[in-house]
Amino acid sequence: MTDATFSDLRENLGYSVEDAADILGVSPKTVYRWEKGEIEPKKAYLHILTSMVEQRRKGRKTRSDFTFIDLFAGIGGMRKGFESAGGECVFTSEWDKYARKTYRANFPDDHPIAGDITEIDAADIPRHDVLLAGFPCQPFSIAGVSKKNALGRAHGFMDKAQGTLFFDVLRILKHHQPAAFLLENVKNLVSHNKGDTFRTIMGALENELGYKITTRVVDGKGYTPQHRERIYIVGFREEVGFNLENVTFRNPKTGPKLESILHDLSEPPEIHYTLADEAPGSNRNSVVNDKYTLTDHLWAYLQAYAAKHKARGNGFGFGLNTPDQTSRTLSARYYKDGSEILIAQDGKNPRRLTPRECARLMGFDSNRKPDMIIPVSDTRAYQQFGNSVVVPVIETIAKAMRPSILGLLVADTLPRFEAAE
């Protein structure tokens, strides 16, 4: 497939010129010019389409055991985990143009991606068995509630969440009443707004919607070399005996080290992340591009900043790592200075991770194969991985939930007998 022309690849994927332009973030006019041979497409664009064709060739599942919807989908980390547990995604919502681009590149044979969830009527979302949402956490305003109180109207937890994105999760759950859901959020959701946010969430899910809930904070460090604690909230429509505390996660103390995700220099060069090593006498295939090495100016600034805060007895400063260590949490702000995860280099300033290394740190690529297609700039890629989930953690939860999900689906199809009095 490496010698295929741009139009061969596009046609193989079944995309119109407009579709291809949208995925690659160029104008349809540019695509027409490539196809007419007026200008050459960059290698990176051909690489993206080639990877998509290969991904599709690996074969898609023909039969699924249950269906799910992917809300606040980002780049599809939760989806990947649930697909590996036998689920089929039937609806996606994500409003960020660049996250949609990455999502679409990695899930090419798919339904259209819906945008702003607040604008979508629950009735327009297909039936599903499981709802997934890593919803952004916003403070729940009390103002609206007090107004309602003043009008003498009773208010519930659902009312309290009005105007927040969690409210959209609630109204979709209320309409469809799927067998189960998985919500994911930052660990301090529990203490957010003096505990009010979490109380509202739990109250609405348990008391108003009647779901049986279990929650647990899990550190992804058992799976990838990154300390990343997230709270997971699982709900089942009926009591099925599922408890997140009974799920076995890999031990964070014995997880892998950074060397497992850093570029191994015998890998073939990839886009601009790693380059062919031209040094005389070198027997390596590739080296990490110097663009990831901090400039003298930035490195001096980070060291001075850390020293100032250390002297005052606060702050961590930067996180400088060697391959035998694990890293701090990758944040969506990593593109700014990369200070939370820096890799020490011999005789040079430290460097940031490349987007490919970030994909591995979030568990997107299994066995170091560059499966994840990254069709966006480094800045966008860092934001997207920093917002995402550790895929194997989701996979572990999905596989643990699966028997209970299937149990409820079977129960739904059996006739119900009322006990005769």
Ligand X SMILES: C[S@@+](CC[C@H](N)C(=O)[O-])C[C@H]1O[C@@H](n2cnc3c(N)ncnc32)[C@H](O)[C@@H]1O
By CB under 6 A, residue 333 contacts ligand X: no
By CB under 6 A, residue 117 contacts ligand X: yes
By CB under 6 A, residue 78 contacts ligand X: yes
By CB under 6 A, residue 105 contacts ligand X: no
Residue 93 CA to residue 124 CA, distance in Å, equals 12
- Main-chain dihedrals φ then ψ at residue 91, nearest 5 degrees: -160, 140
Choose between 301 and 335: whose C-beta lies nearer to ligand X: 335
Which of 9, 114, 117, 137 is catalytic? The answer is 137
Residue 98 CA to residue 74 CA, distance in Å, equals 9
**CB of 275 vs ligand X, minimal distance in Å:** 28
**CB of 96 vs ligand X, minimal distance in Å:** 4
Contact 260, 225 (CB under 8 A): yes
Q: Hey, which residues between 388 and 417 contact ligand X (CB under 6 A)?
A: 388-389
Question: Exactly one of 74, 235, 338, 355 binds ligand X (CB under 6 A); which one?
Answer: 74
Question: Exactly one of 387, 390, 396, 401 binds ligand X (CB under 6 A); which one?
Answer: 387
Choose between 78 and 131: whose C-beta lies nearer to ligand X: 78
Q: Tell me the two tokens of residue 173.
A: 């759950």
Choose one: 22-30, 91-99, 305-313, 399-407; the region binding ligand X (CB under 6 A).
Answer: 91-99
x/- mask, ligand X, residues 6-25, rule CB under 6 A, reads: --------------------
Choose between 40 and 116: whose C-beta lies nearer to ligand X: 116
Question: Exactly one of 46, 49, 52, 75 binds ligand X (CB under 6 A); which one?
Answer: 75
**Could you write out the three-class secondary structure of 185-244?**
EEHHHCCHHHHHHHHHHHHHHHHHCCCEEEEEEEEHHHCCCECCEEEEEEEECCCCCCCH
**CB of 277 vs ligand X, minimal distance in Å:** 33
Choose one: 231-239, 244-252, 306-314, 381-389; the region binding ligand X (CB under 6 A).
Answer: 381-389
x/- mask, ligand X, residues 133-162, rule CB under 6 A, reads: -x-x--------------------------
Query: How far is CA 358 from each of CA 136, 282, 304, 416, rounded to the nearest angstrom?
Result: 21, 27, 26, 49
**CB of 185 vs ligand X, minimal distance in Å:** 8
User: Quick one: which of 129, 134, 24 has its CA closest to 76?
Assistant: 134
How many residues touch ligand X under the rule CB under 6 A: the total is 20
Q: Hey, which residues between 161 and 180 contact ligand X (CB under 6 A)?
A: 165
By CB under 6 A, residue 49 contacts ligand X: no
**CB of 10 vs ligand X, minimal distance in Å:** 26
Contact 81, 391 (CB under 8 A): yes
Residue 137 annotated among the catalytic residues of the structure: yes
Q: Which residue is nearest to ligand X (CB)?
A: 74
Choose one: 71-79, 122-130, 171-179, 247-255; the region binding ligand X (CB under 6 A).
Answer: 71-79
Choose between 165 and 240: whose C-beta lies nearer to ligand X: 165
Residue 262 CA to residue 292 CA, distance in Å, equals 13
Choose between 72 and 167: whose C-beta lies nearer to ligand X: 72
Choose between 77 and 338: whose C-beta lies nearer to ligand X: 77
**CB of 6 vs ligand X, minimal distance in Å:** 29
Question: Exactly one of 47, 56, 86, 95 binds ligand X (CB under 6 A); which one?
Answer: 95
By CB under 6 A, residue 129 contacts ligand X: no
- Binding residues (CB under 6 A) for ligand X: these are 72-75, 77-78, 93-96, 99, 116-118, 134, 136, 165, 387-389
- Enumerate the active-site residues: 137
